[in-house]
A and B are shown apart, each in its own frame.
Chain A
Amino acid sequence: MRTKLIPLALLAAAALPLGAQGVSDGTVILGPQFVSYKFGSGSGAKTVTELAIPFAVILPFGERFSIDISSAFANAQVKTEGSSTSSTISGLTDTQLRGNYTLGDNLAVLTLGVNLPTGRYTVPQAEQDAAGQIGSNFLVFPVPSMGGGLAATGGIAVARPVGSWNLGIGGSFRKATEFDAYELAAANKLRFQPGDEIRVRLGLDRPVGDGLFAMGVTYSKFGNNAANDTTFGTGDRALAQATYARPLGSGDLQLQVWDLYRAKGELTSGSSSPWENVANVNLAIGFNAGNVYVQPSAEERIWQRDGTKAGLLTNLAVRFRFNTGSFSVNPTVGYSIGKLYAEGGGSTTDITGFKATLLIRLH
């Protein structure tokens, strides 16, 4: 109960007039999202849904220092057609508290984050399926985890102009403490100790024509995890991203590409977890219709495991943006269609999905 009070207190603090806090500027963001994927059809079809209400408060203290606090309420459910059982997990997730301090004239930023364990732990067996499914790198749920343990991350980011480019380099170290992740049979618990993580990031951006181009690669090196007495590694990760945005007529165009690679690792079961790669390309064209900004988009995502095709997903979505008073309101609706491919080829499973988001910013 005590842990649940932490985000409550943060919410209450966020709702106070900021002037009373002595804060010069601030933003509150609330972004309810609903995502649902259905795998297969008829009896045996599985549906995974997540209703997430993430919220964030960004508080600058002067020109150089800012703190942001974020957490979420999430409800995830896995249901199978024709089965009387389902797996549901619900509650607050961890709360992330981060402070950023800028050095010089945008020379560097020192960042320190704490992951407060306000989420769900010692997850009962009936809820474990739902808790795991939202972690898919392929489907990318808005809240991927219900809890990751008390952890601290410290890092630095440096930016320098290099010719007509801006070069950004950063690195961080994350240390997490152990936590009771799952409840196992016979009243045992899965005591999980995440391995240390070192992240490095290299990025470049520059104006190109009328627009802006940015690209970057982030590499995460993980130490061994421990589950009770078993140690194992889940595989390092590399995320490459590139974005080009430019005005187009009275609107704009955005082309975004990313590729996530996770190296071969091990599972707690002792079996190996093959490498996987998720590649994604998204094209969005925005235009103004009266006072409303409309941004339809099309996205294609390909998932590979161990060198074979594992999944394909097409996302079509429309985002709207309008201002009312001091609120910036961004509703989005999307539809997904795709396939999952069985290991070793052969059978496929159809995927259909739906997404609705309502992002609200208070400036």
Chain B
Amino acid sequence: MQRIGRTSLLFALVTLVALAPPATAQQVVTTSTAALAKLQIARAANPRSVAANRALGIWYYKANRFAEAREPLDLARQLDPKDGVSALYAGLAAEQLKDYTAARNAYNAYLQVGRTGSAKKEITARLVLVTKEEAKAAARDAVAREAQIAQVRGTPRTVAVLPFRISLTDPAYQPLDRGLADMLITDLAKPGKLTVVERDRIQAIADEIALGRSGQVDAATAVRAGRLIQAGSIVQGSLIGPTPQAITMTAQVFSAQTSEQVGRAVPQSNVLDRLFDMEKAIARSVFADLNIPLTPAELQEIDRRPTQSLQAFLAYSRGLEAQDNGRLDDAARFFDQARTADPGFGAALQRAQAAAAAQSSTTAKVESSIRNSAEGGVVAAAERGSTTTTGLNTTLNTVVGDVNPTTTNTMTSQSTTTGPPPTQQNTTAQATGTDQPAQRTGQVTIIIKKP
């Protein structure tokens, strides 16, 4: 009899395993449909419910229906700008749809209102890539709509600094084209009297129109680049010299309005070792060319050097070049080299960390970073088709599992490696004492008491 029972059990298990996949495949569809239906009903019942819109958006995102995810998520953000989960998933959905501007805005919103520290860290890393992609997309769009965009001119105080033209005999100095532009952008932004276009945006335009690829940039091309970015003034710098002992740095300022050069563009000549002195003089001359007076304190701030080490600055410039080309591992390595050469080089440290984090960043990592957090509970609920925000269902499930425990609880609550505590007991073993793990053979003894 027992043999038959075991055979039956084996047969049942084999049957279960054999039949389960098709059943499960159907189940996934049914489950999804059921969860979606629940969420749609919840939103229809209360179209301005943050929880309902957020849950529906998350569900659509999880189902890879990114376009459909955006509308409810954006509405949830509108209804409650402090809702971090809506911002996070709005950012993820926008990124999947390659709307990088919306993704950046949503991610930045999460950094402001989100509650999960690990998610903020992942998003900060993700923003490096999103910002870059946004700049590329904007550049492509600008070139495609050049005629239309060229009609809109920026004010003279909106300044774009193009990559420097480098004409030195040693090609190892070529990455200074980005490093010097980066340093000049930083200096021009310091007094707060100019709107300086971010280097990523300028580099994206430069890449899009193949600016400077030939090593020669004429005024017309520089002005074209500036107009595509909608800058009012364009700064085109150059570094020229037959040897490191005799180099000249110049920065011409062009007006996007007139295409004419503005100011005098006083050249600075010196040895390469005095590169930073020359850059500071160039920064002052740009302000002079734009007729912007500076206070002594502002001049002092501009004169502050991020590093004194030419070697560190060269490594930093190589890092920018690698980052622009999408080689984030190389970028992280070069920024690290810059930091090693000058441990006080703050920008190098910042970029090294950002590049290191960005190279392993994925949208999946952003999503998983809120697992096991309070915000992650909202996401898990949405996947089940629940709009609950308070987690009361989890509380209830726990109580039910403890007051009426079954093997199901034991199996579903294995959140840790060693399983849950003993919620069920073996009454007969405890009554007979055979549950004690002593080094003896168990024996059942009963004393029959006289009534």
Contact = CB atoms under 8 A, between A and B. Distances in A.
Which of B17, B403, B430, B440 has the most CB atoms of chain A within a 10 A radius of its CB?
B403
Contacts of A237: 425
Interface in A97-141: 98, 100, 102, 105-106, 108-109, 111-113, 125, 128-129, 131-140
A80 to B, nearest CB: 7
Which of B119, B394, B422 has the most CB atoms of chain A within a 10 A radius of its CB?
B422
A135 B27 contact: no
Contact of B9 (A4, A68, A87, A218): A4
Nearest to B391: A166
Given A25-B31, A48-B437, A212-B372, 11 more contacts: A29-B411, A68-B408, A80-B441, A145-B428, A158-B399, A207-B373, A211-B373, A248-B118, A256-B416, A351-B437, A362-B27
Interface in B395-451: 395-400, 402-404, 406-408, 410-412, 414-419, 421-449, 451
Contacts of A200: 403
A241 B400 CA distance: 15
Given A26-B27, A218-B402, A247-B370, A15 B20 contact: yes
B410 A142 contact: yes
B118 A267 contact: no
B115 A297 contact: no
A228 B30 contact: no
Q: Which of under 10, 10 to 19, 20 to 34, or 35 or more describes the interface residues of A?
A: 35 or more
Nearest to A255: B416
Contacts of B35: 25
Contact of A199 (B2, B403, B428, B438): B403
B388 A106 contact: yes
Interface of B: 1-2, 4-6, 8-9, 11-13, 15-28, 30-31, 34-35, 38, 115-119, 122, 365, 368-374, 376-377, 388, 390-400, 402-404, 406-408, 410-412, 414-419, 421-449, 451
Contact of A171 (B115, B403, B437): B403
A136 B432 CA distance: 12
Which of B17, B20, B369, B446 has the most CB atoms of chain A within a 10 A radius of its CB?
B446
B406 A192 contact: no
A28 interface: yes
Contact of B445 (A55, A214, A269, A349): A269
Contacts of A362: 20, 23-24, 27
A250 B2 CA distance: 50
A285 to B, nearest CB: 10
Contacts of A15: 15-16, 18-20, 23
Name the prevailing secondary structure of the B interface residues.
helix
Contacts of B430: 135, 234, 262, 265, 273
A318 interface: yes
A4 to B, nearest CB: 5
Contacts of B390: 106, 161, 166
Nearest to A174: B404
Contacts of B392: 106, 159-161, 166
Contacts of B426: 132, 134-135, 144-145, 148
Contacts of B443: 128-129
9 contacts: A8-B9, A72-B407, A136-B437, A182-B432, A201-B402, A214-B398, A268-B447, A269-B447, A362-B24
Which of B23, B374, B431 has the most CB atoms of chain A within a 10 A radius of its CB?
B431
Nearest to A303: B437
Contacts of A25: 27, 30-31, 34-35
Which of A25, A78, A153, A299 has the most CB atoms of chain B within a 10 A radius of its CB?
A25
A280 interface: yes
A179 to B, nearest CB: 9
Given A133-B435, A201-B399, A225-B427, A91 B417 contact: no
A181 B393 CA distance: 38
A292 interface: no
A56 interface: yes
Nearest to B120: A210
Nearest to B387: A105
A344 to B, nearest CB: 13
